[in-house]
Chain A
Amino acid sequence: MSGRLDRIGLLAVPALGFLAVVYALPLAMLLAKSVQGPDGFSLAEYRAFFADEYNLRVLFRTLRVAALTTALAFVIAYPTAFAMSRAKGIWLTVFLVALVLPMSLGVVVKAFAWSILFRANGVLNSALMGLGLTERPVRMLFTETALVVGAANVFLPFMVLPIYSVIRQLDARLPEAAASLGATPWFRFTRVTLPLTLPGVVAGSAFVFSLAVSMYVIPSLIVGERQQNLSMLIARSFLFLRNEALGSTLAAILLAIAIAVVLGSGWAAARLGARR
């Protein structure tokens, strides 16, 4: 029995080797730098980081933008996933293509497309002013709102697809059973449909949050240097400040957040699944 398992286990060797060389090893070297003082092990870099109010603002902003992006993506994705689960034939294809195709467009193209929409003399502002809703152009580009909207747009498929796959497996008779027991549509949704689709929501949220907390290109293009997030700070530390210790400290913090998200969602999924 174990011989058989071992041989199948061998199939994972290429992936493990690949990950070890290009991922684990450099990461370990990077993290080692963050705890390396002039004379051996030291947490000075971390102390310095958390003592600086600017750094804390960046950290807090990064988490806030990631949370808002996740929330917005959820609000848009949940009904979309339901619509998809009802769609048949050509409509399902349309939905899937509409979700997947923009991913191949790349963030850069999208960001420039948004700027046409959001800039001072852009489509939205022209419309607002034309309607007399505002006299001066509203500042949209370079705001956190624009960043959240843009990020949610890019990461939407990562929220829709896990929720969609859970909804597709949902037994349609369960809401019906609830209805025949006297449950109003709202009660059915909050007590049956939502709890049973939560595993998909957890998975999708973990994806989107991880992506949003570490994004670099989207904020660089939409808000630029004036509102930095963790990834931008890391890049600056390495590229401009040449401060590898700071950079690796920031990387370690980002990694800790990612690990927390993975563990948290794993725990949530296990808790949701435990009763089944």
Chain B
Amino acid sequence: MAGMTSAAPGRHYLDVWGVAKSFRGTRVMSGMNFRMDRGELVSLLGPSGCGKTTLLRIIAGLMEADEGDVVLGGRNITRLPAHRRNISVVFQNYALFPHLTVAENVAFGLRARGTAKSACAGPVEEALRLVRMDAFATRPVSALSGGQQQRVAVARALVVQPDLLLLDEPFSALDRKLRETMQVELKALLRDRGITAIFVTHDQEEAMGVSDRIAVMNAGRIEQFADPSTLYARPATPFVMDFVGLSMRLGGRVVESGGQTCIVETAHGRISAPGGFAPGTAVQVGVRPELVAPGTGENTIRVELADAMVLGSKTVLHGAAQEGDRLICEMPGIRTGLARGDAVDLGWSVADTLIHEAAA
């Protein structure tokens, strides 16, 4: 797969190898391989129920895999209980201890490791300062807002200097504006301290903004594991193309194949695409909407406008499409003079055309 680093097991900082998991006889994950390097920030991105939390819990030791191994820093930790792994988790609802104050929550991990109460004060204060919550140290956690609770959860997870930090949708309970601020803050914090972290989300923009690499998951498998730009420009599967960013999408069948390019018959005419698919293959072609422009190009289709939306920073054209297809074109700035019902040509280059074998 594009962008997937393949190397011998054990060479990486974290190496999840051949993991399988069933719940009451239903397989939700099998043959899962997942590797990352020290200091990397990786996102697990995928729709609800695809197994992100399951994978995270198996890595943390909160759930046992049916098969497979987890190796961290060269040590096989598969059979190690969670409390001996030194892997911190920030939970989706933060899971702060309601009977403890902010400072006591942060000190919990240190106390659990046998640090004397007096020796906790320094590190706890530093961790709280790091997340700008030092003024709240003596408050009960129930008196905090969602964003503040989230910061405390991060401080609590970091104060023990974990070998790996796992975050399960840490921003999903926050409103959009706060979420964006927190993303920037957290990324800077983890970078500065060189922390290796896995970050679960089903928001593709969040994943692209926060992480070095993204593992796109679907139905218990990793569809593609790559850096954000590769993921966007060269999605390895139709699922990734659809899930990461918007795209024009047309179903069709290969009618001619000339080695480097092939020609696909679609509901909107013939389209050339890079790739050597055999004639007769059912495929899905696509292109990112900002690479499409009104007018003719190397590939051109004629569409009837279903809508022209002026959004300020961009104008988006939607074409009337048959079931399963999507016709979309984005232009920077404000464009007027286009209306529903107009017939327009949309063009783009062959090189920008994405093509995948259609999912069976």
Contact = CB atoms under 8 A, between A and B. Distances in A.
- Our verdict on whether A and B bind, yes or no, reads yes
B95 A184 contact: no
A106 interface: no
Interface residues of B, number: 32
Contacts of A272: 99
A183 interface: yes
A177 B91 contact: yes
B160 interface: yes
B211 interface: no
Interface string B60-94: 11100000000000000000011111111101010
Interface in A138-186: 171, 173-174, 176-185
B160 A181 contact: yes
Contacts of B109: 181-183
B98 interface: yes
Contacts of A177: 89, 91, 95-97
Interface in B99-152: 99-101, 108-109, 111-113, 140, 142
Interface residues of A, number: 22
A181 B99 contact: no
B82 A184 contact: no
A179 B142 contact: no
A196 B99 contact: yes
A49 to B, nearest CB: 42
B104 to A, nearest CB: 9
A115 B162 CA distance: 60
Contacts of A179: 61-62, 81-83
B356 interface: no
A178 B166 CA distance: 14
Contacts of B83: 178-185, 188
A176 B95 contact: yes
B355 to A, nearest CB: 44
Contacts of A226: none
A187 interface: yes
Given A177-B95, A183-B83, 9 more contacts: A176-B82, A177-B91, A179-B83, A180-B60, A180-B166, A181-B109, A182-B84, A187-B112, A275-B140
Interface of B: 60-62, 81-89, 91, 93, 95-101, 108-109, 111-113, 140, 142, 156-157, 160, 166
Interface of A: 171, 173-174, 176-185, 187-188, 191-192, 195-196, 272, 275-276
22 contacts: A173-B91, A176-B91, A177-B91, A177-B95, A177-B96, A179-B62, A179-B83, A180-B60, A180-B83, A181-B108, A181-B160, A182-B112, A182-B160, A183-B109, A183-B112, A188-B83, A196-B99, A275-B98, A275-B140, A275-B142, A276-B98, A276-B142
